[in-house]
Each structure stands twice: as structure tokens, then as C-alpha cells.
Amino acid sequence: MITANDLKTKGIACVEESLTDKTEDIITVRGKECYVVMKIEQYHYLREMELEAALHEARRDMASGQFSKDAVDQHVDDIFNK
């Protein structure tokens, strides 16, 4: 873990040091876990997984008929007026 105080005093060097043998780490503030830092490769991987999950969900909705062919305005009205 990286403390906020370490980050203040050592700057990015403490992040680089922390990530030498792992892809992510937690930053604590006053002993409480508040933030996560990670290598950019890990961030890109997680974003790709989010997009894959969204694509999977959209395909599942299409296959089960859970979609609308209405105009966008009509569809939004339907969603918020249920």
C-alpha cells in the first residue's frame, strides 16, 4: 500500500517503486483505502474487459428481444415514464 504521506514526500517515485512487482496498488489516506493506481497496461486490459462485457450484454439482449426500434427520443421517454 502507498500512503498519502509517502505520495506527498516521495512523489511518483513511490508509485513506480510500488508497481515494480505488481500491476496495481492502493493509496491510503489516514489509514483508509481511497484510491487505486495501476500500470497503464492493466488499465487498458480492464477497459477492454468492460467493453467485452458490454458487448456480451448487448448481444444477449438482442437475442432475447430486449431492444427497441423506436426513435431515441421515444425510447428515452418510454424508459423514464414507466
The whole-angstrom separation of Cα 3 and Cα 18 is 11
Is the overall model pTM greater than 0.75, yes or no? no
Average pLDDT over residues 10-23: 95
Say what the pLDDT of residue 39 is: 96
Residue 78's pLDDT is what? 85
Average pLDDT, rounded, for the chain: 94
pLDDT tens, position by position, 51-80? 999 999 999 999 999 888 889 898 888 889
Per-residue pLDDT, averaged over 15-44, amounts to 96
User: So where are the chain's domains?
Assistant: 2-38, 41-80
CA 23/CA 13 separation, integer angstroms: 15
What percent of the chain is predicted at pLDDT more than 70? 100
Residue 2's CB is within 10 A of a number of other CB atoms, namely: 19
